[in-house]
Amino acid sequence: MTGRLTDEERREAMASLPGWIAVEGRDAITRRFAFRDFSEAWGFMSRVALVAEAMDHHPEWFNVYKTVEVTLSTHDADGLTAKDVRLARAMDQIAGI
Amino acid sequence: MTGRLTDEERREAMASLPGWIAVEGRDAITRRFAFRDFSEAWGFMSRVALVAEAMDHHPEWFNVYKTVEVTLSTHDADGLTAKDVRLARAMDQIAGI
C-alpha cells in the first residue's frame, strides 16, 4: 500500500507540479486542462485512461466540451500519495505541458 | 437552431426517460450510471463520445472509477432541447438500459 505523502514529499511534489493546486478541505490536488475542442479533450482523456488503468489508479474528472477538470487523491490512503503525483505528471506530459 | 422543449414535450420526454431527473435550479436533466469497474465505465463513455461528437452535442459528465454522472442541457438554447433527449436515449441504450 502506498502511504500519504510526508510534508517534505508534498512540498517537493507541489513544486514539481506548478499547474496543480491543493483542494480546499481535502487531501487532494486538482488541475483544469483546456483544449481546442471536444476531440482534443477526448484524445487526452483516452490516453490518460490507458495510463490510469495500467496503474490501477483512477482520476476523478469532469469534462464539458473542451475542458477537463481533474482531482487526484488516493482512496485507500485517504489522501495524497506518490501515485497521485505520478498520474499528475503523466497527465501534464500527455497534455504537452 | 433547436429550441427549448415546450411543457408538453418536456412531460413526454421525461416520461420516456425514467432514469433521468430534472436538475434543481437549472433547465437540464441528469442521470448517474454505475458499472462494474473503470473499464466498463470507460467503454460506455467512449461509445457515448462518438455519438456526442457525431451529433455535435456534448454532455457534461463526471467520472470516478465505475460511476459516470451526466448532465444534459443545450448551451445555445440555454435549456433542455430535443438534442438532450436524443443523447439521453442513446446513453441509456449504450448502457443497456
pLDDT in tens, B4-49: 999 999 999 999 999 999 999 999 999 999 999 999 999 999 999 9
**Strand-by-strand arrangement of the A21-22 sheet:** A21-22, A29-34, A67-72, A60-64, B60-64, B67-72, B29-34, B21-22
> In chain A, how long is the greatest CA-to-CA distance?
39
CA A52 to chain centre: 10
What is the pTM (predicted TM-score) of this model? 0.95
Question: In angstroms, what separates the C-alpha of A62 from chain B's closest C-alpha?
Answer: 4
For residues A95 and B62, what is the distance between their CA atoms, to the nearest angstrom?
19
For residues A31 and B30, what is the distance between their CA atoms, to the nearest angstrom?
24
- Kindly list the domain boundaries of chain A, sorted by start residue: 7-94
A51 close to B (CB below 8 A): no
Q: Is the pLDDT of residue A2 over 80?
A: no
B46 close to A (CB below 8 A): yes
The confidence score (pLDDT) of residue B35 equals: 98
Closest-CA residue of chain A to B64: A60
- For the B7-94 domain, the top CATH level (class) is alpha beta
